[in-house]
Amino acid sequence: MQMKSESVAAGVAMTQRTSVRYAVLAMLVIASAVNLGDRANLSITGSAMSADLGIGPVALGYVFSAFAWAYVLAQLPAGWLLDRFDSIKVYGISLVLWSLCTVAQGFLGTLSTAAAIAGLFVLRFLLGLVESPVSPANSHIVAAWFPVRERGLATSIYNSAQYIAVVVFVPLMGFLVHKAGWPSVFWIMGALGLVLAMVWFKVMHQPQAHPRANAAELDYLRKGGANLGTNGKKALETGSVDLGAVRFFLKSRLMLGVYLSQYCLTSLQYFFITWFPIYLVKGRGMNIVEVGFLATLPAMAGFIGGIAGGYLSDSLLRRGLDVSLARKTPFVIGMLLASSLVLCNFVASPYTVVALMSLAIFGKGLAAVNWAVVSDTAPPHLVGLAGGLFNLFGSISGIVTPIVIGYALQLTGSFTGAMYFVAAHGLIGAITYLFITGKIRRLEVAR
C-alpha cells in the first residue's frame, strides 16, 4: 500500500506544471535593468568627464544624441535578426557587446580632448547599435514564454526594469563617481554586464529546449496562445529585412495607432531621464542633493504603475473581457494621468511638482502594457520585426523631445512651454488608442 501511495505521489509530481517562465522573466528584468543603467551612466558621469577632459556642453550634447540616432537606425535590422535567429542568443550576444562598449568608455581619460570626444561619440553610437535588439527581444521572449492572459503583467514587469535601474544604479553610480572617479562607473557596470552574460547563456533557453520546463508547462503555454516554435527556426528565409512586411505594418491602421502611441509614451520617458533633473534645479531652485534623492520617487511610482497596469490588463482578460478592452483600459487611464504633468505650471512648491511628476510617471507605468499589444497583434513569425518598428517609433521621440525642449528653453527662458509640450503627448496617446487603433486582434500576412 505504501509503495502504491509513493507511486501515485511520484506521478502527481511528474505531471505538476513547472513555472520556469517566471525565472525567465526575472532574468529579463535583471538584464533590462543593467541595460538601462548602461544607457544612463553618461548622464551621471557627464559633469565629471567634462571637467576632466575639457568637453564643452555643445560637444557633450552631440555625444548624448549618438545613442538615440544609432538606436533608431538599428531597430528594423534588430527586429529582423530576432525573427531570423534565436532571440535568446541574439540577446546574449548583445549583452556581451554593450558591456564591452561600456568598459571601453572608462579608458577615454588617457586621450586628448578631441580624441576623447570622438571616441566617446563612436562608443555611444556603437552602444545604440548593439543595444537595439533588447526591447523587441524582451517582447519576443515573453511572447514565447507566456500565454496571452499572463502576457500583460509579464510585459509590465520587464518594462518596470527602467525604474529599477534608476532606483538601484543611479545612486550607486553617483557614489562611484564621488569615491573612485568617473572611469570606475564604466568599468564596474561593464564588468557586471559581462558576468550577467555568462549567467544568461547558462540558464536561458527557448521553452521547448529548456531542461527545466516540463511537458505540462509547455502544453499550458501552447494552449494559452504562446508563440512556441517560432524562435531559432529562421522564420524569414530572405537575406534582409522583409520590406513587404514593413509595408504591411505601416499600412495597418491598428499598428500605426500602436506606433504613434508608443512615440507619445516614450516622449514622457525621455523627459524624465534627460530634462527633469535640470528642471528641478534651474526651474524650481532645488539643489543637486535634493534632486538625486527626489528623482527616485517618480521612478518608484512608475514601477508600481507598471505592475498595476499589467495586473489590471490580465485581470480583465481573466474575467472574460476581450483583448482590446483589457489592453486599452490601463493604457488610456495611464496616458490621461501622465498628462497631469501640465499642472506643474500652476503650482509653486517644488515638492508638489515632484508629487505631480510621480503621478505622471505612475500613469506612464500603467500605459506600459502597450508592449504586450505587439505580441497580441503581430503574426508569430514577425514579432521581432513588429517590435523593432514599435521601438523605432518610440526611439524617434528620444531625438525629438530633448531638442524641442531645448529650443523652448532658449526661446522663452522658462520650462512652461516644455511642460505643455510633454503633457500633450499624454492626451494624444490616449486619443490614439481610443479612436485610431480600433479592435486589437492578431494580424495575418501571407508568407
pLDDT digits (tens, 9 = 90+) for 295-308: 778 888 988 888 88
For residue 230, is it within any domain? Answer: no
Q: How far apart are CA 100 and CA 127, in angstroms?
A: 9
On whether the CB atoms of residues 186 and 45 are closer than 8 A, the answer is yes
Residues in the chain: 447
3-class SS letters over 339-392: HHHHHHHHCCCHHHHHHHHHHHHHHHHHHCCHHHHHHHHCCHHHHHHHHHHHHH
For residue 224, is it within any domain? Answer: no
> Which residue in this structure is represented by grid cell 563612436?
122
Domain that holds residue 166: 22-204+241-435
Helix 215-223 and helix 20-53: axis angle, to 10°? 80
pLDDT of residue 96: 96
On whether the CB atoms of residues 185 and 49 are closer than 8 A, the answer is no
Question: How many other β-carbons are positioned within 10 Å of the β-carbon of residue 197?
Answer: 22
Q: How far apart are CA 356 and CA 339, in angstroms?
A: 10
Total tally of structural domains belonging to the chain: 1
pLDDT of residue 238: 47
On whether the CB atoms of residues 369 and 331 are closer than 8 A, the answer is yes
Which CATH number goes with the domain that contains 298? Answer: 1.20.1250.20
Stated pTM of the model: 0.70
For residue 294, is it within any domain? Answer: yes
For residue 446, is it within any domain? Answer: no
Residues in the chain where the model's pLDDT stays below 70: 1-15, 57-58, 60-61, 229-242, 274, 277-278, 281, 287-292, 384, 445-447
For residue 347, is it within any domain? Answer: yes
For residue 323, is it within any domain? Answer: yes
pLDDT digits (tens, 9 = 90+) for 411-427: 887 889 889 999 999 99
pLDDT of residue 410: 72
For residue 390, is it within any domain? Answer: yes
pLDDT of residue 287: 64
For residue 210, is it within any domain? Answer: no
Question: How many other β-carbons are positioned within 10 Å of the β-carbon of residue 61?
Answer: 12
